[in-house]
Every structure is written in C-alpha cells, then in structure tokens.
Amino acid sequence: MEYLKLAGLASAAVPDLDVVAAAPYSTGTTGDYDAALLRTADGPTVIVRQPRFAAAAAEQLAQGRALAALTEGLRSRLPFTVPTMVGQWRSRETQLAVFSFILGQDCAQVELTHDSLLVAEMGRSIAAIHALPKSFIGEAGLPVFDVAAVRDSVEQLIDRADTTGRLPNALATRWGAALDDPSLWEFSPSVIHGSLERSSFITNGASVVGVLGWSDLRIGDPAQDMRWAQTLDGATERVLFDEYVDARGATVDRQLRQRAVLYAELELARWLLHGVEAQDATVIADAEQLLDGLVTRVRSLESTELRHETLPVLDLAGVQELLAEAGMKARHHEANLPKRTQAPETGSEQRPEADAEHGPARDSDD
C-alpha cells in the first residue's frame, strides 16, 4: 500500500521519527503528489509528500527553502503557526519531504461574512506577513522584486496573453491603461507570501491558527497577497482591507485595492496561457468564456479603466472556483513571472482535500 511505503521512506528522511499510525492522504483525484499522514509516538501528526512530477518536485524544494528562511524569531512575529519541514530524503529517482501538520479547517470551507471576527483576523494576519523585516529574504536567496520588476512582469504577462490572439481587445486596453498609470505603481515592496488564497488560511473555527503555501515567499507587491479578496462580497472585502490597513498604518499605499483587482483579473490571462501552452482545447475554451464574461462585467461599470481614482468591484467567485478546481496549473507554466504556486507542507485534518497546501485536485487517489 502506497501510504505504508511513504511511512517507511519518512522514517529514512527523519531517523528519530517514531511512527505509530499511518493513513493515506488524498483528494480523491490524481494529482502532483502522493501523500500520507503519520502519527508519531510523542503525539504530533506529520505529513509526508512525494512529488510525482518535476514541477511538483521543484515546488517542494522552493517550499523547503522558504520555510528554512522563516526562523523562530521571524515566526514569533506572526500571530499564527507556520509549518516546519522536519526532514527530507532524495535519491536519483525521487524526492520526499516530511512537514508538520496544522490541525484545523481551511477557510475555503468556512462562510466568511462582514461581521466575522475571522475575516478581521485574516486581514491582520496578512498585515503581519507584510510587516516582517525585508532583510532576511535577500539573505536567504529568495526572490526580490522592486516596483519596476513587478510592473514589468505584469506587462510580460499581458503581452504574452495578447500574442495568443485570444485576449479580448477591451481587456488588453483596460490592462494596458493600468500599466500606463504611474500613480497605480507607487508602492513600497514588502515581504509577501506570494500565493495567498482563501484556502491558505487554516482556522480552528474562531481564529486563524495557520497559514500554508509558502513556496513563493519573496519581496514584492503587497497587493498580490490581496488578490484573492476580490472573490469576497463587497462588505466582507472592505472589512478585510480595513483591518489590514489599520494594522499596517501609513505604510499602505492608496492604490492597493486597484492593483489587487488587476491581479485577480490577470488570473484569467494565466489560465488562458496555460491552456495554449498545454494545447488543451477545453482549458482554452474555459478561459475564453471567462474572459468574455469579464468583458461583459467591465462594460457594465461606469469606467472601464483601472485608474488610480477608480475602484471597480468585480465578483470573480466563479473564476476562483474554476481555477481552484484546476489546481491553478497555469502558475507552474508562467516562467517569465514571479511564481505564485501552491506548495505542500501541511494541511487541514477536517477537510484535507480542500487544503491549499496540498492543493485541490493534486494529491494521490490511491
């Protein structure tokens, strides 16, 4: 049985690991990783992950580097738990890693409303990440992007999507206008998580107890970590942003929400590019339908531009659902942009199949 084999390999990766129970960890669909949950003699539960493909192996290595950079001192600044890599094992044929496991439920499975204390805490949790000292990122050899590099990466993405011939002119114009608005790009780069999703947050039902998916830890645009908030209803989104702003204070730039909207919309461009690069007609058709829907919604707004004085409200919940179902594969193929992939390290014992760390539709179906 695969999970017993993984338990044996985990013991090789962590010599003092005393496994007393093992269970398969699966989303029920074939994906990028084989995984198993292991209970140890001294109580803690760990998760062992074995990548199936080269992209997943690279992602797991990036995860390990990021987690190693988050020292105990840095972790003490955060109001939640960050997973720990407790061991790894590599051979010519395979790679395997063992991570601590955070008990709880990912917030994709929890109703988020404007009066929820959990939403407020999510905003403060993001602020805590962005308030981390920036020096450790460069010292750890993790990516550092200044304002120009962030803007250039966005421009590259738009250009690549446009060259497919499948990007609606209305969106090319809208996104191009955002690129050309210098006031939109007046921000101070900070430490960012890099691939935050609603499911990245683990809750015990009352508060945020953990944040997952650290493989894209870097210096970059704080708005990238707020992109996912565009899937919330307007009132809930405002609470999250207000709590974030209150926690960050004067360091928050005025155009944070506008760029978050832009990044949310650009997920559709990434999805289109993934379909084109993979020559997957189904994905291409899905992306084109979503882009057309975005055009319709944008045209219903008073302004079709993402200028610094505008803040169009877009409901992208359907987009999020599609991309989550697809495992956000577009991110693995976006070589010219700062990666924002989800990476394995720990998860939610209650609903592991929806956990951001282990990835929707990405684990073994053994």
Residues above pLDDT 90, as percent of the chain: 56
Binning pLDDT at 50, 70 and 90, where does residue 306 land? low
Mean pLDDT throughout 81-109? 89
Look over the chain and give the mean of its residue pLDDT values, rounded to a whole number. Answer: 82
Cα 89 to Cα 9, 67, 204, 264, distances in angstroms: 8, 16, 31, 37
Check residue 305 and give its pLDDT: 60
Check residue 304 and give its pLDDT: 54
Contact between residue 214 and residue 70 where contact means Cβ atoms under 8 Å apart: yes
Return all residues near 249 (Cβ < 8 A) that are at least 6 apart.
Answer: none
Of the candidates 11, 92, 77, the residue with the CA atom closest to the CA atom of residue 211? 77
Check residue 176 and give its pLDDT: 94
Q: Is the pLDDT of residue 77 over 70?
A: yes
Mean pLDDT throughout 107-124? 93
Q: Is the pLDDT of residue 173 over 50?
A: yes
Return all residues near 67 (Cβ < 8 A) that are at least 6 apart.
Answer: 82, 83, 84, 85, 99, 214, 345
Check residue 336 and give its pLDDT: 34
Check residue 191 and give its pLDDT: 98
Interval 14-61: pLDDT, tens: 888 888 888 887 644 447 788 889 988 887 889 999 988 888 888 889
In this structure, the strands spanning 190-192 and 95-100 are: unpaired
Residue 151 one-letter amino acid: R
Check residue 93 and give its pLDDT: 75
Interval 313-351: pLDDT, tens: 344 444 444 444 444 444 444 433 334 433 333 343 333
Among the ranges given (24-33, 109-118, 279-288), the one the predictor scored with the smallest mean pLDDT: 24-33
Check residue 366 and give its pLDDT: 37
Mean pLDDT throughout 73-102? 91
Interval 237-264: pLDDT, tens: 999 999 999 999 878 998 999 999 999 9
Binning pLDDT at 50, 70 and 90, where does residue 311 land? very low
Check residue 334 and give its pLDDT: 40
Contact between residue 199 and residue 324 where contact means Cβ atoms under 8 Å apart: yes
Q: Is the pLDDT of residue 154 over 50?
A: yes
Q: Note if the pTM is more than 0.75.
A: yes
Return all residues near 335 (Cβ < 8 A) that are at least 6 apart.
Answer: none
